[in-house]
Structure 1
Amino acid sequence: MSRARTRVDAHVKVLDDRVVARAKERGIDALVYAPHFTRLPTVHERAARFSDDDLTVVPGREVFTGDWGNRRHLLVIGLSEPVPDYITFEGAMAEFERQDAAVLVPHPSFATISLTRPELAAHDSRVHAVETYNTKLLSHQNDRARDIADDLDLHGFGSSYAHLRPTVGEAWTAFERDLPDAEAVVEAFREGRPRTVVHRGGLGHRLRGLIEFGHLAYENTWAKADRLFLSGEAPTLPSNVAYEGRFDDVAVYE
């Protein structure tokens, strides 16, 4: 049955049966699943496994460009071939453009991990949407993101940015048409289809956001980076044998 509107929680990090059940309970029609440091074939496989007639799971990658201390996150959907983390921004963008993927900018101008307003201004023609509501962020940070999108005339999107199951479905992007599958969701972002950014309210919503915000303390520690990514064994380092040396010329770590 076709829908008049499709609700997309446009960025989650977790996916299992409980996440799917929660998304459906909250009226979400599609999830963009983009876990950290997971290669694209694995993301595709998990997305297909948890998709059904009531919920579409769109495979995505949040690619870390630059080095750990100066990284810029890019949320990319519509990739058909893997792209590693820790390559140059230009190297990443060239590959996204080659694959005709949709490039979304999560949490703009947040901390040292996001594209800044000047960077977005310099690359606005290469970006398909900017996150204007992220459940994990504080009110003033989301206000700043909306201002950036408005000033640069960029499309917005909203997401729960759920790293924790209870946050799934706290925010979403509502497109004004039926998007029946992952390809349609990618196309809607890539073509700038009309949408509204929506989020829940109340004390429960704010508490879930604050719990997610506190989770950043672990997500962004150098100890985690050293242990998981820079050991030489991480699956999304460009030096991993799976990439067959294709990104050696744009890698920021040897």
Structure 2
Amino acid sequence: MPDRGTRIDAHVKVLDDRVVARAKARGLDGIVYAPHFRRLPDVRERAEQFSDDDLLVVPAREVFTGDWRNRRHLLALGLSDPIPDFITFEGAMAELDRQDAAILVPHPAFATVSLTRPEIDAHGARIDAIETYNAKLLAHQNRRAGDIADDLDLPAFGSSYAHLPWTTGEAWTDFEGDLTTEADVVEAFKTATPRRVVHRSDAGHHLAGAVEFAHLAYENTWKRLDRMLLSGEDPTNPHGVFYEGRFDDVAVY
């Protein structure tokens, strides 16, 4: 990777040939792939499929903690074992600690899906970075996230949070040094490697963000809730056979 540093779009939800092409066209060196409701082995397999010498795809999980009405999202990198959604926050943190994962806070203080500032403050010693720019969010929401990171003296990261392929590379985290492997990226987050949060600022950037924000309505329908929670075979249901009962005592459903 180039001496200019390593540009990582630190959170994307989709991955296909269009995403890879867009990432390379935007000058990225890597993306963090963390789709909703997919088990870690599947995420890792797809990440490996789309990684090449020009673009590193890092597998990750955005874990949904708590119930659907009051959930707290955690972005975890460097996982060795699968972890389900819809378990308690403390249960998730304990499992991520056990796996020595990098723990990131996406879209802080946003709606009912994010850690609040008091929660981030209370758990700051266990948090490796806070997202201070999310291309899906509005300007005042990103400013609030930046203020939280500054006030609590926690490292920052930025991402496109792309749920749509063409949003990839609208924002990224520019790390010092060459990060050539998944382990390098995880270590960079865990050791607070110097970095800058960068985003595009043209009209297309603002349009992409507006379309992504509108996409939230689709992401949060009761139809989707029913599909996820009423099926014991859902890939990240904590009672699923994949988890062998390990999370039954911290499941919220």
Shorter-chain TM-score range: over 0.9
- 1:185 Cα deviation after fit: 0.5
- C-alpha separation in 2, matches of 1:130 and 1:214: 23
Point out 4+ residue stretches in structure 1 off by more than 2 angstroms: 1-4, 228-233
2:163 corresponds to = 163
- 1:17 Cα deviation after fit: 1.1
TM-score by length of 1: 0.98
- 1:228 Cα deviation after fit: 2.7
Equivalent pairs, count = 253
- 1:251 Cα deviation after fit: 0.6
1:80 corresponds to = 80
- 1:15 Cα deviation after fit: 0.3
Structure 2: gaps spanning 5 or more residues: none
2:143 corresponds to = 143
- C-alpha separation in 2, matches of 1:70 and 1:200: 32
2:207 corresponds to = 207
1:118 paired to 2:118:
yes
2:227 corresponds to = 227
1:14 corresponds to = 14
1:239 corresponds to = 239
- 1:108 Cα deviation after fit: 0.1
Alignment deviations for residues 120-166 of structure 1 (CA, whole Å, 9 cap, x no partner):
01000000000000000000000000000000000000000000011
- 1:230 Cα deviation after fit: 3.0
Alignment deviations for residues 100-134 of structure 1 (CA, whole Å, 9 cap, x no partner):
10000000000000000000010000000000000
1:28 corresponds to = 28
- C-alpha separation in 2, matches of 1:208 and 1:240: 36
Structure 1: gaps spanning 5 or more residues: none
| SS of aligned partner of 1:70 | coil
- C-alpha separation in 2, matches of 1:177 and 1:38: 31
RMSD value over aligned CA atoms? 0.8
2:216 corresponds to = 216
Instruction: Report which stretch shifted further, 2-11 or 79-88.
Output: 2-11
| SS of aligned partner of 2:208 | helix
Sequence identity of aligned pairs in percent? 71
